[in-house]
Amino acid sequence: MKQREDKSVLYEPRCPFCRELFDRPKEIDTELGSFLGGVCNCGAVYSFDPTGRNLGETFMEAISYACDQDWDLAMSLESGTDYEEIIINYDIRTHTVSPRRVNFLAMRRAQGRLFFVKLKRKNIKAID
């Protein structure tokens, strides 16, 4: 008899880059204020958008924090070349994720999102 798959693992808060469990977002102070987010053990930085409708600001918080708050460096980076980004649906109350990928065309209802950014360090050093 084939064992059933444990569906609960689909909702565990795991980093989309390394698959390790990540911590609940917490308030992180920066030079320009603060944001809810965190840093995974693999180096990925994540920022939380409770409405899922302000992903531009959420992205800027994550990428600038990943660049040690160097805004000039953060703005000079190219997606795919210098960093990777992944957005996931996230429920901060239950600290769970949705197994579905975010579809930008279907983002009509308010749902929390985590914006993960991971720098490709070898490429970043070439910019410095």
User: What is residue 32's predicted lDDT score, i.e. its pLDDT?
Assistant: 84
Tell me which of 39 and 104 has the higher pLDDT. Answer: 39
Q: How confident is the model at residue 127 (pLDDT cuts 50, 70, 90)?
A: very low
Sole residue written with tokens 């911590």: 23
DSSP assignment, residue 20? -
- 49-59: average pLDDT: 92
- Going 8 to 84 to 18 to 65, the CA torsion angle's sign is negative
* 5-14 pLDDT tens trace: 555 567 899 9
* Per-residue pLDDT tens over the stretch 106-119: 444 568 999 999 99
| Calpha distance 111→18 (Å, rounded) | 24
Eight-class DSSP state of 79: B
For 79, what's the count of Cα atoms within 13 Å in the CB-facing half-sphere?
6
Q: What is the pLDDT of residue 93?
A: 92
Place of tokens 């409708």: 53
Determine contact, residues 124/63, Cβ cutoff 8 Å: no
pLDDT over 70 at 52, yes or no: yes
Pairwise pLDDT comparison (21 vs 52), residue with the higher score: 21
Q: How far apart are CA 95 and CA 107, in angstroms?
A: 20
Residue 128 in this model has a pLDDT that exceeds 80: no
pLDDT recorded at residue 94: 92
Query: pTM score > 0.75 for this model?
Result: yes
Mean pLDDT across the chain, nearest whole number?
Answer: 85
